[in-house]
Structure 1
Amino acid sequence: MAAAIAIAVLGASLALNGVFRGWVWLVPAITTVCIVALVLAVLRTLRAPSLLTALGGLVALVFILDFTFFRQQSLAGFIPSGATFDTLGQFLRRAGDTVVSETAPVAPNAGIVFVACASLGLVVVLMDALAVPLGMPATSGVGLLAILVFPATIKPQGAGLLGFLAAALGFIVILGCSQWFAPDSRLQSDNARGTGQLKRSVVIGAAALALGLLLPLAIPGFERGTFPVGSRLNPWGVSNGLNPMITLGNSLRNPTGDGRFTYATSSTAPVYLRSVTIDKFDGDTWAPDDREASRRIGPGRMAPDYPLPSELVRQLTVVDTGQFTSPYLPVPYAPTAVNGLSGRWSWDPATLSIRGEDSTTRNQQYTVYSALPALTSAALAQANARPTSISQDFIQLPSNVPDIVKNTANTVTAGANGNYAKAMAIQDYLRSSQFSYSLQAPVQGGYDGNGMSVLADFLQQKSGYCVHFASAMAVMARLKGIPSRIAVGYAPGHATGATVAVAGQEPLPEFAVDARDAHAWPELYFEGVGWVAFEPTPSRGVVPSYASDPVAPGGPSTKLHEENLTPGAATPAPSVPAVPQLAGPGAGSGSGAGSWTVLYVVAGALLLAALAASPRMFRSGIRGRRLRPAPSRDSAALAWAELQDLATDYGVPPDPSETPRRFAERLRNSVALGASDDVGQHAVASLAGDFERQRYGPPDGPARKSAEQGDRTAAVRIAAVRTTFRRNASWFAAFRAEWLPPSLMSRRRR
C-alpha cells in the first residue's frame, strides 16, 4: 500500500511541471515521498499502532526535509537546530514572495521547492492514514485531488493530461491494492486475497474519470475545452479581484471580461485606476510592501509623506464596484480623500494605496478626490536633483542583475542628460517597433512573470505584456539612479455612453473596466515633483502628454490613443500582434469548432450513459463471477450469497440472526416471490438445500457430491428467482433493483 500511495502521489505531482520551470524540483520530491512511504511501511510491518505509525511518518518527513534543504544548518546533517529554523523562515518568506509576485512557470528556488516537498510528504501521511487504519482507500483520492487543484488553478494550460492520467492510474493501484488484501466477502469464501480485483478497480477508476469529465459541464468557469486542460476555475483570478502580478496575465487572457465595475470622472484626460503599488525588490522578483507599521486608518483625509509642488490639478471620480471583489481599492492617483466607503480601510502614506481591514470592494460606491502635479516635459527636464525626500528602498537593486539588462540600460540611455531624458529614452525604446505586445508568447516561451531571469528573457525575446514592459522600465530606471516602482490597477477602459449626476457638477461621463483592462505601469520619482507615471507598453493605455514627445524613431504614435481615450469616446481594442494558436480542443472556428462541439456533446452523452449504467454493470459482474462454474470453489455458498443480494435488491433483505432455512421460508412467503409461483418457490428451496448440505454436511460425503452436481443448475435457479421477482415487482421497484441495486451498499459477512 505504501508503494501504491507513493506511485499515486508522484504521478499526480507531474502536474507541477509548468508551475515550476524545468524538472529540478522532481528529484527532492521523489526522495521525500519515497522515504516517508518507506518509513510508514516499515512501521506497519513491525505492527506499530496506527497513531505511532502516522507520527513516525511525520518525523521521517521532518528528517528528510532537513537533510535535503538544511543539511549545513543541522546537527548530524538531519536533526534541526536553531540555525535550521532561521533558514526555514527565509525559505518560507521566499516562497511567499514567489506566490505573490510570480506567475507560472516560476523558477524552482529553494523556498518554493521546500514547500512543495513538504506538502507532498504530508499528503502521503494523510492518504496512508485514510487507506489503511481508517479503511477508506477510496477517500484517499482527496489527497490526489489536493495536488491536482494547485496546478489546475495556476497554470494557464490547466493541470495537464499527463499529471491527471498518472494520478488516476495511481488511484486505481491504491484501490486494487486495498481490495487484494481486504477483499469483498461477497465474492470469495475461502481465499484471503480476492481475484479479479484489478477489474473492479478499473471500473471504479473509469467511473471517477467519467465523473471528472462530466462535472465541469455543471460548474461555471469550465466554458471552453475539456477537463483537465480546458478553461478552469481560478480562485485567485478576477472573481476575487486583482491579486498583484500573479493573475494579471490570466486576467488579460480572460475572454469573458469578469470583474466589471464603472466609474465617472471630471478629468479631461484618461484616468488610470491604481489598486496597489509594487515597490519591494528582493533580488529575484517584485512584490508589494504594505508597510503595516506606518499604515493609517481612515482614507477621509490623505496626504503623501513627500512634498508636492504648489500647482496641482484636482479632479473628482465616482466609482461603483458592483460585484468586483478585491482587498485593495481602485482609485485615481493621487487621492486626497475618499468618501462613502463602508467598513474599515487603511492607507499607506508612502504609496497612497488603500486596503480594506475588515471589508472588500464588493458593492461599494465611493467618491475620490485627487490632486496631481501639473506636469510638463519642461518641468520634468529640470527636476534633476538627487532624490532625498523618499526612502532609498525605491532605488535598491540586487547584485545579480543580468548583463543583458545592464547593457541594455547603458546602451539605451547613452547620450541622455538628466533623469527625464533617461526615462524618455527607456520608454521610447520599449515602445519602439523592436518590441511587440503579446499575451501568449511569455506563456509559450516559459518566461511569464516579473523575476530577473524573466526580464532577461523578455529583453531577448522582445515580446510580452504590461508586466514585462513595466518591470523592464522600473529596473532600468533604478540602474540609472532613478527611484521607481510599479503600479498595478486598470487602464482607462471604455465609455458606456451614460452619465452620472454629481451634486455641484455637470453630469460626468461613465466608463467601464473589467479584467481585460487590468494593467501595470511604472512610476518614477522626480525630486520636487513626486511620482510620475510612464507608459512603456505598446498598444495599451495612453502615453501622457508630458511623456509623448519626443517619440523614438519608428515608435508607435500616441496621438491616436489620446484622441480615442478622452472622456466620452470609446477605447479602441488593443492591436495585439497575431499569435499562432495551438491546435487542440476548442481551437479553430466555423465548421471546425462546430465539429469539436458535436464530438464533445456526443462524448459527454456516452460518458453520462456509461456512468448511469455503471451500478447495473457492476452488479452484473458480481453475479457472473459468483455463478461461473469453476473447480475447488464453494459454489453453493456463492449461489446463496447471490440469492441474498437478489432478495435485498427487491426489498427482502436477510436478517443476520436468521438461519438459511428461516430466511428461505420467509422469502417463499413474501409478496416479492409470490406463493403461487412454483418455479420460483422450487428454486429458492433447492438453493437453500444445497447451501445447507454443503455448509453443514460431511466434507467428502454424498451430500457434498450432490451439492457439487447441483452447481450446474445454480445459475438456472437464480435466473428463475430473478424472473419471478421482476414479474411481481412494481416498475419502480424493478428499476431500482436493476439499475440502483441496494445490495451494492451492503457489506454483509457470510
Structure 2
Amino acid sequence: MSAAATGRASTGSSGVTVARDGPRRWGRGGDPKGSPPSSSTARIHAGPVETTALAVLPIAWLWSTGTVLGDGWLLPALGAVLTMALAAALARTIMPAFVATGVVALLGVGWITATSAPDEALLGVIPTPESAGASMRAIGEGVQAIAWALRTPIEVEGAVLAAVVAGAVVLALGVDLLGHAMRLPAIAVLLAAAPLLLPIAFRADIPWWHALPGAAAAALALAAPAIDERVAIGRGWLAPVALVGVAAALAAAVPLVAPSPRDVALDLPTLEELLRSPTPVLQTDIDLGDELRRPEARQVFTYSTSDGLPTVTRLMTLPEAGEDGFRQVAPTAGDPDLLVEGADLGAPMQLTVRMSPVRAESLPTPERVAGATAPEGAHWDDANDALRIEGSVDTDGLEFTSSGTRSPDLASLVGDSSTGHEELLLLPERAQGIRELGSSLVTEGMGAADRVRAVHAYMTTGVWDYSEQLDLPGFAGASGDGWEALEGFLETRSGYCVHYASATGALLRGAGVPARVVVGFLPGDEIAGGRSVTTNHMHAWAEAWVDGAGWVRVETTPGAGTGQASPEGDEQTQEPTPTPTESAAPTPTPSATQSAAPTTAPTASPTPSSPGVAEPGATAIDWAALRPWLIGAGLVLLLALPWLVRRGQRAVRLRRGAPGGWHELRAALADAGTRLPASATPGEVQAAIGARLADDPQARSAADRVRLAAERAVFDAGPRERGAVDADVRLVARALGRSQPLWRRVLSTALPPSLVRVVPPIDE
C-alpha cells in the first residue's frame, strides 16, 4: 500500500518530509495537512475546548474574590463575559482575529455603560460624551470604595458593582486579545489570575473552593490546545483531562497548606500600592474587628488658632451603640445657636482651616464647636454633630472659620450628675459583658465626674499596648461581631484608638454616664503660621456628658500613639511610624503624632526603621534612599527577563549544531507571528519561512541551508560541527523580525511567543 493511501509521511526527492492526506485540525484555516502552508493558513486558532476554557477563565478567577466581594457581582459580570465570548466566536468566523477583538471591546464598553451610567447613555448601553464621563466617575468611586473598604465582604452595588463589572470586562477583553488574537494563552491565564491579588491585599483567607474554579479553568486553558488536537485526529483525550484535574487539585490545595495571608510576616502588596487614590478619602465609620489599614500620610488641611495653641479637631460624632459598635445615625440638618452642647463652657478660641484636596463627608471643627461660618455646600448635622459637606464641593483651597472651646482637664472636672442624654446610656445585648464591667468600676454614691475618672483610671492603669496588627473575633468579616472583638481587646489590652475609644465609651455607659465616640484629628505637625494635619493624624476618642461641664473628652489611647509606655506600665506600646512629640498644650490634648485612624485607607507599607549609628570606619547605607533604585532595577530586570531567557535559549540551541539551529528558526518563526502545529514537518516549516521571506532570496537560501544541514546531521552519527550554521540562523532570524510590523516586532521582543508554546526540537 502506498504512503499516499495510508496517509503516512513520505520523503520527496528534495529531501523534504511531507505529510499527505492528514486530517484537518479544529480551527485551522487553509488546505489539508499535505498542502504547503502560507503565512495566513499556518495560523492556528483556538479550538472548541480552548475557546470555552478562555471564555470562563475571567469569571472562574473572579470567584476567588468571594471573601472580599461576596457574590453580588456574579450575574452581571457573568452576562458581560459570556456575551463577549459569544460575540468573539461569531465575529471570528467572518473577520480577522484582531478585528473581532475590537468588536468584543465595543460590546464590553456597552456593558460598562449599562452598569455605570445608563441614564446618560442612548438606550442605556450606547455611550455618549455625558455617559463616558459619568462611567469614569462611577468606576473611580467604586475602585476607591473597594480600596478603602472598612470591612469584608464588601457590598457590591452601585459604584462598586460598576467597578467590578468593568474589571470583568477588562479581564475578558485581555484574555480575548492575548488568547485568541495574539495566541498567547499562557499569558492570558496569568492576566485572568489577577483577581487573586484582591483577597491577598486585604489579608483575607481564601477558601479552597473559591480557588478551585480558577485553578481548573487555568489548567484547562493551558492543556486545551493538546486536547483539541487529540480529538481532531481521533486520539484519546482522557489523559490530558486527567492532567488538568491533577493540576487543579494541586493548585486548590495550596490554600489548605499555605499560611493565612495575615499570619505571614511579609508586607503583602495592597491596593493602595496598585491603585493609588488621587486624593485622600476620609470615612468616619469604624470597624472594631479589622486591622488598621493606615494610608500614606497625605495632607488633609492646615489650621491656625486664635491663641496659637494646638488643638484636636472634630470630624464626626458616632452617637449610637449599634450591633457592631458605635456608629453615626441618619443626618438631621439644623442650625442651633450652640452647635455642640457645652461649647460655651471654657475659654473661647477661633479655628481657621484651609483644606487640601480630599474626599470627605464632613469638615474639621473644634472639638467643642460653638459656631461656624459654613462654606457653600456645607450644613450642620445636628444628629451627629458634624459640619457636613456635599460630595460635589471642591475642597482644594477651601477656607472657613469656626469657634469653640477645648475640653477641660479630667483631674479638675466637677459635676455630680449626667442628665438629659438617657438615650446615650443604651448598649445592645451583645455588649452586656462590657456593661457589667463598667458598672463594676463605680459605686452607687459616686458623682458623674468621679465615674468618668474611674473609667479613665481603669483604661490607663497597667500595661495597654498600642498595636495595629490584630487577630480579634470578628476579624475581616469572619464569625463574631464588633462587640465580641471589643471584648477580645479588653482581654488582650492591645489595639488602636478605635478600640480604646469604643471600650471607654461603652464602659462609661455601663458606669451610668452618657457617652459617645468622636472621630477627628490629633493636633498635627507645626508649620510656619500654624499646623498641618495629615491622614495619619486621624484619631478617635470617647466623650462623656457631665452636667455643668458639657461634653468632656476622655482620652485613653496610650500616649495617643506616641509609642510611650502606658501609665504604670513596663512595656513599650507599638507604633510602626512614630513621629516626634509636639509641645504640650495647657489642656490635656494628645500629642500631635500619628494615631490609629478610623479611616478606611488601605494598609501602607511600614516605614523602615532609621538605620543605627554606623560603627567607626563603617559606611552607612541609606536604605530608604536606595530602595526606589532597587525597586526600579528589579522592575527593569523583570521586564527584560523574557528577552534574556530568549537570548539564552538561542545560545544553547546554537551550541547543538545544525539541529539546534533549525529548532531556533522554528522559534523565530513563532516569534514572527506564524503558528505551526507541533507535528509540522520540515517541509511545512520551510514553506512558511519562504512565504514570510518572499522578497528576500538571500534569507530563503540561508534557511534552506540550515534545513539541509539539520537533516544531514540527523542521519549522520558523527560529531556535529558547532558554529557551522550560526551565521545563516542569525541572518534568517533578523529577516523574520523585519517581516513584522514595528509594533509586533517590539511586542515579540518583550514577550517572545515562542516562550509560551512548545516548539519540539528536531531529533538529535
The TM-score with structure 1 as length reference comes to: 0.55
Q: Secondary structure at the match of 2:388?
A: strand
Task: Give the alignment partner of residue 272 of structure 1, picking from 307, 312, 325.
Answer: 312
Q: What residue in structure 2 maps to residue 401 of structure 1?
A: 431
Q: What residue in structure 2 maps to residue 656 of structure 1?
A: none
Q: Secondary structure at the match of 1:426?
A: helix
Task: Give the alignment partner of residue 459 of structure 2, picking from 411, 416, 430.
Answer: 430
Task: Give the alignment partner of residue 514 of structure 1, picking from 495, 517, 534.
Answer: 534
Task: Please list, as runs of the form range in 1=range in 2, the aligned pairs for 1:489-568 lying within 5 A after superposition.
Answer: 489-496=520-527, 498-499=528-529, 510-527=530-547, 529-540=549-560, 564-566=584-586
- CA change 1:625–1:731 in 2 (3 A) is closer
Judge conservation of contact 1:286–1:451 (CA < 8 Å) in 2. Answer: no
Task: Give the alignment partner of residue 363 of structure 1, picking from 382, 389, 396.
Answer: 396
Judge conservation of contact 1:616–1:740 (CA < 8 Å) in 2. Answer: no
Q: Secondary structure at the match of 1:387?
A: coil
Q: Secondary structure at the match of 1:489?
A: strand
The structural deviation recorded for 1:316 is 1.0
Structure 1, unmatched stretches of 5+, are 51-97, 202-223, 500-509, 543-550, 577-582, 648-662, 675-679, 691-706
Q: What residue in structure 1 maps to residue 327 of structure 2?
A: 287
Judge conservation of contact 2:286–2:498 (CA < 8 Å) in 1. Answer: yes
Instruction: Report Cα offsets for 1:225-262 as digits up to 9, x if no partner.
Output: 886479835767983235543699987855x6323532
Instruction: Report Cα offsets for 1:454-494 as digits up to 9, x if no partner.
Output: 10110000121111100001112223343322111111123
Q: What residue in structure 2 maps to residue 345 of structure 1?
A: 378
Instruction: Report Cα offsets for 1:605-627 as digits up to 9, x if no partner.
Output: 54233144467789977815989
Task: Please list, as runs of the form range in 1=range in 2, the aligned pairs for 1:84-123 lying within 5 A after superposition.
Answer: 103=150
- Aligned letter for 2:449? Y
The structural deviation recorded for 1:145 is 2.8
- CA change 1:49–1:531 in 2 (3 A) is farther
Task: Please list, as runs of the form range in 1=range in 2, the aligned pairs for 1:375-414 lying within 5 A after superposition.
Answer: 381-382=414-415, 384-387=417-420, 392=423, 394-401=424-431, 403=433, 405-414=434-443
Distance in 2 of aligned mates of 1:317 and 1:585: 32
Q: Secondary structure at the match of 1:382?
A: coil
Distance in 2 of aligned mates of 1:729 and 1:101: 49
Q: Secondary structure at the match of 1:539?
A: helix
Q: What residue in structure 2 maps to residue 418 of structure 1?
A: 447
Distance in 1 of aligned mates of 2:341 and 2:667: 86
- Aligned letter for 1:317? L
Judge conservation of contact 2:342–2:550 (CA < 8 Å) in 1. Answer: yes
Task: Give the alignment partner of residue 282 of structure 2, picking from 229, 238, 241.
Answer: 241
The structural deviation recorded for 1:562 is 10
Q: Secondary structure at the match of 1:271?
A: coil
The structural deviation recorded for 1:125 is 11
Q: Secondary structure at the match of 1:433?
A: coil
Q: What is the root-mean-square deviation in Å for CA atoms of aligned residues?
A: 6.7
Judge conservation of contact 2:329–2:383 (CA < 8 Å) in 1. Answer: no
Q: Secondary structure at the match of 2:526?
A: strand
Matched, 1:173 2:258: no
Q: What residue in structure 2 maps to residue 439 of structure 1?
A: 468
Q: What residue in structure 1 maps to residue 139 of structure 2?
A: none
Distance in 2 of aligned mates of 1:587 and 1:14: 35
- CA change 1:511–1:420 in 2 (3 A) is same
Distance in 2 of aligned mates of 1:585 and 1:13: 33
Distance in 2 of aligned mates of 1:468 and 1:686: 74
Q: What residue in structure 2 maps to residue 657 of structure 1?
A: none
Distance in 2 of aligned mates of 1:515 and 1:320: 15
- CA change 1:611–1:276 in 2 (3 A) is farther
Judge conservation of contact 2:290–2:474 (CA < 8 Å) in 1. Answer: no
- CA change 1:173–1:236 in 2 (3 A) is same
- CA change 1:328–1:618 in 2 (3 A) is farther
The structural deviation recorded for 1:722 is 4.9
- Aligned letter for 2:219? V
Distance in 2 of aligned mates of 1:632 and 1:728: 24
- Aligned letter for 2:557? T
Judge conservation of contact 2:537–2:595 (CA < 8 Å) in 1. Answer: no
Q: Secondary structure at the match of 2:420?
A: coil
The structural deviation recorded for 1:319 is 1.4
Distance in 1 of aligned mates of 2:172 and 2:218: 15
Q: Secondary structure at the match of 1:364?
A: coil
Q: What residue in structure 1 maps to residue 348 of structure 2?
A: 314
Distance in 1 of aligned mates of 2:288 and 2:438: 28
The structural deviation recorded for 1:636 is 1.3
Q: Secondary structure at the match of 2:363?
A: coil
Judge conservation of contact 2:322–2:428 (CA < 8 Å) in 1. Answer: yes
- Aligned letter for 1:289? V
Q: What residue in structure 2 maps to residue 328 of structure 1?
A: 362
Judge conservation of contact 1:490–1:518 (CA < 8 Å) in 2. Answer: yes
The structural deviation recorded for 1:286 is 2.8
The structural deviation recorded for 1:438 is 2.5
Distance in 1 of aligned mates of 2:406 and 2:735: 90
Aligned residues: 559
Distance in 1 of aligned mates of 2:607 and 2:347: 52
Instruction: Report Cα offsets for 1:291-311 as digits up to 9, x if no partner.
Output: 2xx225xxxx65457865875
Distance in 1 of aligned mates of 2:451 and 2:356: 41
Distance in 1 of aligned mates of 2:570 and 2:193: 51
Q: Secondary structure at the match of 1:232?
A: helix
The structural deviation recorded for 1:398 is 1.4
Judge conservation of contact 2:339–2:371 (CA < 8 Å) in 1. Answer: no
Instruction: Report Cα offsets for 1:380-406 as digits up to 9, x if no partner.
Output: 643515325x8x3x3332112253x23
Distance in 2 of aligned mates of 1:248 and 1:240: 21
- CA change 1:712–1:263 in 2 (3 A) is farther
The structural deviation recorded for 1:344 is 1.2
Matched, 1:480 2:511: yes
Judge conservation of contact 1:494–1:511 (CA < 8 Å) in 2. Answer: yes
Distance in 1 of aligned mates of 2:462 and 2:641: 56
Distance in 2 of aligned mates of 1:616 and 1:735: 20
The structural deviation recorded for 1:333 is 2.9
Structure 2, unmatched stretches of 5+, are 1-48, 93-144, 245-264, 572-579, 597-604, 613-619, 651-662, 671-675, 717-721, 755-764
- CA change 1:414–1:563 in 2 (3 A) is farther
Judge conservation of contact 1:482–1:525 (CA < 8 Å) in 2. Answer: yes
Instruction: Report Cα offsets for 1:424-469 as digits up to 9, x if no partner.
Output: 21112111223222333x2699858991111011000012111110
Q: Secondary structure at the match of 1:261?
A: strand
Q: Secondary structure at the match of 2:518?
A: strand
Task: Please list, as runs of the form range in 1=range in 2, the aligned pairs for 1:654-673 lying within 5 A after superposition.
Answer: 663=694, 666-668=695-697, 673=698
Distance in 2 of aligned mates of 1:454 and 1:616: 56
Judge conservation of contact 1:345–1:355 (CA < 8 Å) in 2. Answer: yes
The structural deviation recorded for 1:3 is 7.9
The structural deviation recorded for 1:635 is 3.3
The structural deviation recorded for 1:422 is 1.8
Q: Secondary structure at the match of 2:372?
A: strand
Judge conservation of contact 2:318–2:327 (CA < 8 Å) in 1. Answer: yes
Q: What residue in structure 2 maps to residue 693 of structure 1?
A: none
- Aligned letter for 2:535? A
Q: What residue in structure 2 maps to residue 638 of structure 1?
A: 685
Distance in 2 of aligned mates of 1:736 and 1:541: 54
Q: What residue in structure 1 maps to residue 256 of structure 2?
A: none
The structural deviation recorded for 1:124 is 9.0
Distance in 1 of aligned mates of 2:53 and 2:678: 34
- CA change 1:163–1:538 in 2 (3 A) is farther
The structural deviation recorded for 1:338 is 3.5
Distance in 2 of aligned mates of 1:100 and 1:287: 21
Judge conservation of contact 2:515–2:542 (CA < 8 Å) in 1. Answer: yes
